[in-house]
Amino acid sequence: MIQSAAKLFSYKKYWANKLLPAPVLPMSREEMDILGWDCCDIIIVCGDAYVDHPSFGMALVGRLLESQGFRVGIIAQPDWTSVDAFQALGPPNLFFGVSAGNMDSMVNRYTADRKIRSNDAYTPDGEPGRRPDRSVLVYSQRCREAYPESQLVIGGIEASLRRIAHFDYWSEKVRRSILLDSKADLLVFGNAERQIVEIAHRIAAGEKAKNINDLRGTAFSLKAIPADWEELDSSEVDVPATAYSHPDPYAMTPTKKTCNEAVKNPDEPVMIKLERFHKKTESGNTVVRLPDYDKVKDDPVLYAHAARVMHAETNPGNARALVQQHGDREVWINPPPIPLTTKEMDFVYELPYTRQPHPHYENKKIPAYEMIRFSVTIQRGCFGGCSFCSITEHEGRIIQNRSEKSILDEVEIIRDTVPGFTGVISDLGGPTANMYRIACKSREIEQMCRKPSCVYPGVCPNLNTDHSSLIQLYQKARSLPGIKKVLIASGVRYDLAIKSPKYVKELVTHHVGGYLKIAPEHTESGPLSMMMKPGMGAYDRFKQLFEQYSKAAGKKQYLIPYFIAAHPGTTDKDMMQLAIWLKKNGFRADQVQTFLPSPMALATAMYHSGTNPLRKVRRDGEAIPVARGIRVRRLHKAFLRYHDPKNWPMLRAALKRMGRADLIGYGKDSLIPRNQPGNKVTGKSRAFLTQHTGLPTIKRKTR
């Protein structure tokens, strides 16, 4: 039977507890000698520079294991061209823990156009090229070469999003589970605290990692399904969902039919309805069998079906185990871990971090650290369910909260101990800014729900949208002695924020530094429905409140919207309409993003298959437009940057082809001019260029 791990602070500590804690986790033999260690119990190999701060995964996991009495060493950004760097600390007493870092290594290194990025925010001085492609695979291989007898556990976002057969954008093919390709003994997915602590104690007690098969949030391989488990084929599980339509993107009022009113039973999910999920065998064990790897790698529609079913099994309250055959091996994926309680979250974030980079880096700046060193994480998880985002897939949709006291104590620690602090907290947030202490009104409904989002196609009536705890936290944080200002840099979920005008008032009056970034992502209903994002009515309402409260506070502040180009479901016409909206509203988007299909995302299944996995996947089902080729993807991005003269030739050709040559000219409603800068132009056209493109001030920054 699958079991949940015990509470984080309930274990009997390992014997080495008497030697701990370390000032910083050691990165060399010399540091181990100073600490009096003959070996490390656990060695974490990671693609990021080591910063002893809870926003960095290796530090959080390392300090947590240290609190359990284990001696933890760090091998950060090793030279992967030989085994030497992987032997720097000697063999681990228990196991190697391998992670690519806070980012997927492929996303970290390549843009959406598959170009190599010029910097790496998680490396000293932003130096690129300090980690290999598919870092988990390379690091795992080197660990095996260095110490063949050592046990190997992989985790982090790269492993988490590749735990199953997954589409790989960079090779344009479906790859096997990373568990098999890495030859790891065990894969840990999602937030790893519960799993990794349990694993460490069980290996310390003599159990082999490859034999730990009853732990939530883990994946492992085996030859055959145990006899006491009933297999449930995924084709039996997925049934047609009740049809719904996306709300009018320009509507100022909610649609009449809410997500729960669309079906008879208010507790029943809308977008993914699964039969037999109450069914139990005599032993109580049911595993859902996904289509084999050999089938999904050659069949995009079957891949989309598997992705749809997998995403339905992500609620810790009702998720079942999944199994997928890869050749002669079965990849078994247990249900997600139980979210941490507030007490456990506090425990994790109150460990003795130095909150600084390891002294090894001396005075080199690590850009990711510079960005977050004066920020505080207050929550985890996201129930937004955006189809292109990895947050929900990795951290889950149940919000995990820290206590107010723990957060305020950390603010004071930053004030008193972090070098360079000037009195400004750069962020109180997490994956989103405003989901702190927001959850389903009913724990029973929450545990049974299989909806991928609590806010799409509208805010669920069962969701408690009270922002009062967050407002109170903001007020107390900005009132602490020595704190001049508390900014909010995490993304505001504005469709949720408009449910609490008091929150918007507090945010706008006290916590915006002139600009507030939000992410409507698009204006048109086609792409928005595929993204599972709200219509523009919610944006308009938030903008109205933002301007109202900014004016009342006597402040001149601006909203900076983010948009995505080339998302599945987007046509050339959709991008043209977005460009028209941008021009009409006076926006020149400097920070734009082209859709990047990340492993395991539902939007990636759309990209790969050309079908819509938000509804039942059929071979003759709903087909959606997909911008795959580099030319169409660049065109979509060019529409977002309609003001850049470099894009005008491409846009002129596209607008003529689309029958919208009326948007080419020098009039008020023209999107682009007839002529390029440098040609002989009239005074009227020169005025157009000055007024509508701002040529002298164009920035080339992209997100």
Report which of 229, 242, 231 is spatially closest to residue 270, judged by C-alpha positions.
242
Helix (H, G, I), strand (E, B) or coil at 98: strand
Structural domain spans, the chain? 15-223+328-333
What local confidence, expressed as pLDDT, does residue 680 receive?
56
Give the pLDDT mean for 223-235: 91
Cβ-Cβ contacts under 8 Å for 395 (sequence gap 6 or more): 190, 191, 380, 381, 382, 431
* Longest CA–CA separation in the chain, Å: 84
Q: Is the pLDDT of residue 269 over 90?
A: no
Q: Is the pTM of this model over 0.75?
A: yes
For 346, the token pair is: 């506090």
Report which of 409, 398, 498, 388 is spatially closest to residue 439, judged by C-alpha positions.
398
End-to-end Cα distance, the chain: 45
What local confidence, expressed as pLDDT, does residue 251 receive?
40
pLDDT digits (tens, 9 = 90+) for 509-548: 999 999 998 999 999 999 999 999 999 999 999 999 999 9
pLDDT digits (tens, 9 = 90+) for 365-403: 999 999 999 999 999 999 999 999 988 888 989 999 999
Alpha-carbon span 236 to 289, nearest angstrom: 10
Distances (CA, A) of 477 to 348, 428, 530: 20, 9, 38
What local confidence, expressed as pLDDT, does residue 393 receive?
82
> Which region among 67-71, 214-218, 224-228 has the lowest average model confidence (pLDDT)?
224-228
For 664, the token pair is: 């080419």
Give the pLDDT mean for 103-130: 95
- pLDDT tier, 13 (very low <50, low <70, confident <90, very high otherwise): very high
Beta carbons of 239 and 616 less than 8 angstroms apart: yes
- pLDDT tier, 246 (very low <50, low <70, confident <90, very high otherwise): very low
Distances (CA, A) of 204 to 14, 153, 546: 8, 14, 55
Q: Is the pLDDT of residue 273 over 80?
A: no
Alpha-carbon span 430 to 491, nearest angstrom: 9
What local confidence, expressed as pLDDT, does residue 28 receive?
97
Cβ-Cβ contacts under 8 Å for 148 (sequence gap 6 or more): none
What local confidence, expressed as pLDDT, does residue 703 receive?
34
What local confidence, expressed as pLDDT, does residue 683 receive?
60
Report which of 431, 346, 354 is spatially closest to residue 395, judged by C-alpha positions.
431
Give the pLDDT mean for 40-67: 97
Beta carbons of 59 and 51 less than 8 angstroms apart: yes
Whether omega before 21 lies within 30 degrees of 0, making that bond cis, reads yes
Around 216, how many Cα atoms within 13 Å sit in the side-chain half-sphere? 22
| Token pair 């086609």: residue | 526
> Which region among 229-243, 251-265, 608-622, 642-656 has the lowest average model confidence (pLDDT)?
251-265
Alpha-carbon span 576 to 557, nearest angstrom: 28
Around 489, how many Cα atoms within 13 Å sit in the side-chain half-sphere? 14
What local confidence, expressed as pLDDT, does residue 19 receive?
87
Cβ-Cβ contacts under 8 Å for 127 (sequence gap 6 or more): 119, 120
Q: Are strands 286-289 and 230-233 parallel, antiparallel or unpaired?
A: parallel
CB atoms under 10 Å from CB of 649, counted, come to 12
What local confidence, expressed as pLDDT, does residue 676 receive?
82
> Which region among 248-262, 404-418, 504-518, 524-538 has the lowest average model confidence (pLDDT)?
248-262
DSSP bridge pairs for 329: 326
Q: What percentage of the chain carries pLDDT values higher than 70?
A: 89
CB atoms under 10 Å from CB of 270, counted, come to 24
Alpha-carbon span 274 to 308, nearest angstrom: 11
User: Which backbone phi and psi does 41 adopt, to 5 degrees?
Assistant: -75, -40
> Which region among 174-183, 389-398, 557-566 has the lowest average model confidence (pLDDT)?
389-398
- pLDDT tier, 685 (very low <50, low <70, confident <90, very high otherwise): low
Q: What is the DSSP letter of 339?
A: P
For 301, the token pair is: 């529609």
Give the pLDDT mean for 452-456: 93
What local confidence, expressed as pLDDT, does residue 413 receive?
97
Q: Is the pLDDT of residue 693 over 90?
A: no
Q: What percentage of the chain carries pLDDT values higher than 90?
A: 81
Q: Is the pLDDT of residue 574 over 90?
A: yes
What local confidence, expressed as pLDDT, does residue 583 receive?
94
Q: Is the pLDDT of residue 319 over 80?
A: yes
What local confidence, expressed as pLDDT, does residue 690 receive?
62
Alpha-carbon span 672 to 649, nearest angstrom: 10
For 187, the token pair is: 């894969």
Alpha-carbon span 22 to 27, nearest angstrom: 12
Whether omega before 457 lies within 30 degrees of 0, making that bond cis, reads yes
pLDDT digits (tens, 9 = 90+) for 327-376: 999 999 999 999 999 999 999 999 999 999 999 999 899 999 999 999 99
Around 181, how many Cα atoms within 13 Å sit in the side-chain half-sphere? 18
Q: What is the mean pLDDT of the chain?
A: 89
Q: CATH classification of 15-223+328-333, choosing from 3.40.50.2300, 2.60.120.10, 3.30.450.90, 3.40.50.280?
A: 3.40.50.280
What local confidence, expressed as pLDDT, does residue 4 receive?
64
Alpha-carbon span 463 to 290, nearest angstrom: 31
Alpha-carbon span 248 to 262, nearest angstrom: 16
Q: At what angle do helices 572-584 and 648-657 cross, to 10 degrees?
A: 120
What local confidence, expressed as pLDDT, does residue 689 receive?
62
